[in-house]
Amino acid sequence: MNPFVILFAAIFTNNIALTYFLGMCPFIAVSRDLKTATGMGVAVIFVMTLTALFAWPVYHWVLVPYHVEYLQLVSFIVIIAALVQVVEMVIERFSPTLYINMGVFLPLITVNCAILGLALFMILRNYSFIQSMAYAVGSGVGWMVVIVAMAGIRTKLVFAKVPKALEGPGLTMIIAGLMALGFMGFAGIVNLQ
């Protein structure tokens, strides 16, 4: 399948947040204002791309030849944790301003299930290396689009009169439901499986 189709599908028709429910904890916790949401989005794109870059070779060149595919969970989680550590140190060393803006989100990303989910999906669907990279970038961008949109809606909602018990996570869930409904409008443009 054409990598561009995969990229497009990962952003719109098979959005990782709205169709696969991945990365929901930060989606609800850090979507309060636009700036933090953008920071988190950029960090996710970055780590996702790097994860695919390392997870694909490890799976296909190490785990498969030695018939230890069942170790994929452990190896992926170790790759993600190590990558986040390294990225954090590199950014801290070379760009202190970026570190101040992005540093807080990096440790959060280790437990972001969207990253591990991405690695598992790309193996499950038997993507080639190029396809995996397209899928990773697309998923990251898709996740960012959704969290930024959500943050925009929530900043407007500060002025709305909402039942007290619905405020916060309840309302975010229902808005996410409506957004998912909206994204279903993209279905059928491309078919991904």
Chain residues in the site for another protein (CB under 8 A): 18-25, 28, 70-74, 77, 81, 110-113, 116-117, 120-121, 124, 163-166, 169-174, 176-178, 180-181, 184
Least distance CB 41 / another protein (angstroms)? 18
Least distance CB 53 / another protein (angstroms)? 19
| Helix 129-157 and helix 113-124, axial crossing angle in degrees, nearest 10 | 150
Least distance CB 135 / another protein (angstroms)? 13
Cβ contacts of 154 within 8 Å, gap of 6 or more: 31, 32, 33, 172, 175
Least distance CB 47 / another protein (angstroms)? 13
- Which CB sits closer to another protein, 124 or 158? 124
Q: H or E element: which one contains 156?
A: helix 129-157
Alpha helices (H) along 59-168? 72-94, 96-102, 105-110, 113-124, 129-157
- Which CB sits closer to another protein, 101 or 171? 171
DSSP state of 61: I
- Which CB sits closer to another protein, 101 or 192? 192
- Which CB sits closer to another protein, 68 or 98? 68
Residue type at position 160: A
